[in-house]
Amino acid sequence: MKLNPKLKLNANQPPLPTRNGYGDALLELGKTNKNVYVLCADLTESTRADKFAKAYPNQFVEIGIAEQNLVTVASGLAHAGKIPFASSYAAFCPGRCWEQIRTTICYNNQNVKIIGAHAGVSVGPDGATHQMLEDIAIMRALPNMTVVVPLDYNQTSAATKAIAKHIGPAYMRFARDPTPQLTTPKTPFQIGKIQVLQDGSDLTIIGCGPILFQAIQAASILKNQHNISVAILNCHTIKPLDTRTIEAYAKKTKRIITIEEAQIAGGLGSAIAEHLSSTIPTHIYRLGIKDHYGESGEPSELLKKFKLTPQDIARECHKIFKTK
C-alpha cells in the first residue's frame, strides 16, 4: 500500500494564530465568490472576520449575541444558495446552539460552515467557560456533519477554502494564540486525507490541531533518549476519517497514541478506537483532556497541568512502547 508522502515541515516562519488563517482565507474567498457570506455573533475581530466585513459589507451579517439566530439565519442563507460561514467562539457555537445546528442545518443537510474559534485550553486566562473541549464530540455525532481541526495558520487557510467548496454542513475549530507553522501555503490539503508529518516504525502518534507541535518535540525526545522511531500523523479531518492510512499504521507499528486539545471522550481518539476495534484491534492510548474542565492560566501552564507538554507526551509514549 502506498502511503501519503512525508511532508517537509516549515521551520523558518514565525508563529501565527490559526484564526488568522481563517480571516485571510475569507478575504480571498470574497474576491472570487459572491455567494460566500460571513455571519458573526458580536465577535467579529476575535474570529478574524473583521477584514471580510470591511471589504464585503453586503456579504456580512452581524447577528449580535444570539447564537441560535446565528446558525438558523445561516441555514436560511444556505437554502437560498449562499455559502454561509457562521463564526463565534466554540464555547458558544456550537456550544450554545447545538440543537439548532442539529435540526435546521444537519437534519436538512444545509450547506452551512460552523466556525468555532478559541477552542481548547490554549485560550488561557479566559478560563473554563470559554475553553471549549467538548465540541469535537458533539459535532462528529451529527449525521451529515464534516469535522475539521487544522494544524496551523497555513492549513487553517487551506481548510477554510476546502470547506467552502465542500457541499454540506461542516465544522472547523481553531485556536487563539500564535502557534508554529509546520506547513506552507503550497502544502496540499484534502478533506478526509491524513498528512504524514513524520514516518516511523515503532509507534504512531495521531493528532489534530496545534498540539501536534508538542508531539513532534516529543518524538525527538523519544528518538534521542530511547531510540524509538515515531510516526506522526496529522488527522486534520476527524469526520470522515482516513481509515485507510490509520489501518496501515496500526499494522505497521502495532501501537497508536492519539492526542488532542479536547475531551478524549468522544473526540479524535474515540473515533480512531471505534474504527480499529472492529477492523484491526490495536493497543491505543488516548492523550487529551480527561473528564475535566479547563482552567484559567497561561497556555504553557495549562499544557503542563493537563500533561500535554513534549516531556509528558514522550513519557506516556515510552510507557506504551514497553507494553506488549
Please give the grid coordinates belonging to residue 229. Answer: 522511531
- State the Cα–Cα distance between residues 282 and 195, nearest whole angstrom: 21
Locate the DSSP E strands across the chain: 16-17, 36-40, 60-62, 83-89, 113-117, 146-148, 170-173, 178-179, 195-198, 203-207, 230-234, 237-239, 255-263, 283-289
Q: Cell 441555514 appears where?
A: 75
- State the Cα–Cα distance between residues 37 and 58, nearest whole angstrom: 9
Contacts with 280 (C-beta within 8 Å, 6 or more apart), sequence order: 247, 250, 251
Given 28, 67, 295, 298, which residue is catalytic? Answer: 67
3-state SS class at 146:
strand
Three-state helix/strand/coil letters over 4-31: CCECCCCCCCCCEEHHHHHHHHHHHHHH
- State the Cα–Cα distance between residues 140 and 147, nearest whole angstrom: 6
What is the Cα 24 distance to its own chain's centre?
A: 18
- State the Cα–Cα distance between residues 228 and 235, nearest whole angstrom: 21
Of the candidates 101, 94, 106, 117, the one whose C-alpha atom is nearest the C-alpha of residue 176 is 117
The answer to whether residue 301 is catalytic is: no
- State the Cα–Cα distance between residues 128 and 176, nearest whole angstrom: 15
Catalytic residue list? 67
